[in-house]
Amino acid sequence: MEPRTITVHSGEQTAELEIYPDLGMPTFLQQLDSLHFLPSSSCWFVVDGQRVLLESEEDIDTHLKENTAVWLVSRGAGRASTALIDLYLPNSFAEQFLNIYRRFRFQRSRSPPQSYIRLDRELIQTASDFLMTCKPASLASARDWVPRDIARQMEGHTVKEFLVILLEWFHSSTTFVKTTPCVRCGSVTVSQSNTVQPTEEEKRVGVRNVELHRCQTCHADTRFPRHRDPTAIIANGRRGRCGELSILFTTVCRALGLEARLVTDLNDHIWTEVFDDALGHFVHTDPCENTVDTPLMYEKGWGKTQQLVVAVGMNHCTDVTPRYTEHYERAVSDPRWPRRYVCHVFTSRVGAYVQSRVTINDADQERLATFVRRDLTALRHGALERDDSGEYRPRQSGA
């Protein structure tokens, strides 16, 4: 049999190798080991984005054609190759892919695009925020906080009708923080561009970062911790911005038995969606703006040019951009984000990440999957009942 030339990649190393399939696996493995790359006994073989098993002469002949590129991928979570960035592995690799990617532990021949890194960071942050809404302690705190007369109004109302009632109470019981008064003199402060690390005590209650606000009178700095734990948000006066309020409202909905998820435009806003079985899709709900089912508000009222909008739920992470824009093709072609199929790969991995960290039985798993399928069907076929009255108010929170 004629020799074949293949290209072998491992981390930052690349080499051409002339192989003879008819000489069998022992010779092939010896050739790999001679390259001083990964030990052949501790790696996976990846070709065209798929893991392949090379165990015999027939396997080599089938998978390693002339000019084939082969990536040697370590079985340990601490190393990966360019294949994990540019050539995507099947779903069975989801958790390992995510663990490697989110920590940016690459052995690579080139850096990943900044849009990949940004998308990964934003999705992981939203997924982490959603997981906060699933904690038993968070759900218990939310149930204790919601008045019984509000909870009882679930009976006799559709989900959408109840959301209007619930959101009205929620909006009147929370405070959107536009500015933080000076802790020393009470005067107006101005947000500084930098943030500082939370204290150990703040970390224990889920604070991710702390904003600094400088007083215009006495020049003292006031700290504004950004809470992510619903229990801590309630304990600290139910104050915050869209992050805190959306996390808290999503937790309240889940505590009352509604199927709620977090939605982010991956830019500067986050809100909630709740599934309405009667409508057959998730309903837009913005706790900062006190609005229900007005998804085009951001585009028509705020004047935003929507880009990628992503929802994170119990067993999924999915692109819901069509609900929030009348210009979907323009939104998904924005050069600040990866191409559509790359975004799909990332969202599917983040969905697997969330699902691996929550407890859900088979019946609920199937029920949720049905909800998501119905919602995606409505999105793809334009079967959404959206308010097109033209009355979209400008931004109230943060305006």
Assessment of whether the complete model's pTM goes beyond 0.75: no
Q: What is the pLDDT of residue 120?
A: 81
3-state secondary structure of 52: strand
Q: Are 235 and 136 in contact (CB under 8 A)?
A: no
Q: What is the pLDDT of residue 345?
A: 65
Active site residue ranges: 242, 269, 286
Q: What is the pLDDT of residue 75?
A: 60
Start-end of CATH 3.10.20.90 domains in the chain: 4-112
Q: Are 129 and 313 in contact (CB under 8 A)?
A: no
pLDDT block averages, 10 residues each, the chain of length 399: 82 80 81 73 73 82 87 55 36 47 46 75 90 95 96 93 96 91 90 84 86 91 92 93 96 97 92 94 95 93 89 90 86 73 71 83 85 83 56 74
CATH of 120-176+241-380, one of 3.30.390.10, 3.40.50.800, 3.10.620.30, 3.50.50.60: 3.10.620.30
Which tokens in the block code for residue 52? 């392949």
Q: What is the pLDDT of residue 82?
A: 35
Start-end of CATH 2.20.25.10 domains in the chain: 178-226
CATH of 178-226, one of 2.20.25.10, 3.30.70.20, 1.10.10.10, 3.20.20.140: 2.20.25.10
Q: What is the pLDDT of residue 339?
A: 66
The amino acid sitting at 157 is: H
292, 296, 299, 302 alpha-carbon torsion, rounded to 10°? -30
DSSP states of 74-110: ESSTT---THHHHSPPPGGGHHHHHHHHHHT----SS
Q: What is the pLDDT of residue 294?
A: 92
Start-end of CATH 3.10.620.30 domains in the chain: 120-176+241-380
Sign of the dihedral defined by the CA atoms of residues 192, 197, 200, 201, in that order: positive
- Alpha-carbon distance 252 to 273, whole Å? 12
Q: Check if CATH label 3.10.20.90 holds for domain 4-112.
A: yes
Angle, helices 242-255 vs 114-133, to 10°: value is 40
Helix (H) or strand (E) holding 282: strand 281-286
DSSP states of 167-226: HHHHHHHSEE-S----TTT---EEEEEEEEPPPHHHHHTT--EEEEEEETTT--EEEEEE
Sign of the dihedral defined by the CA atoms of residues 87, 89, 95, 100, in that order: negative
The amino acid sitting at 340 is: R
Q: What is the pLDDT of residue 136?
A: 95
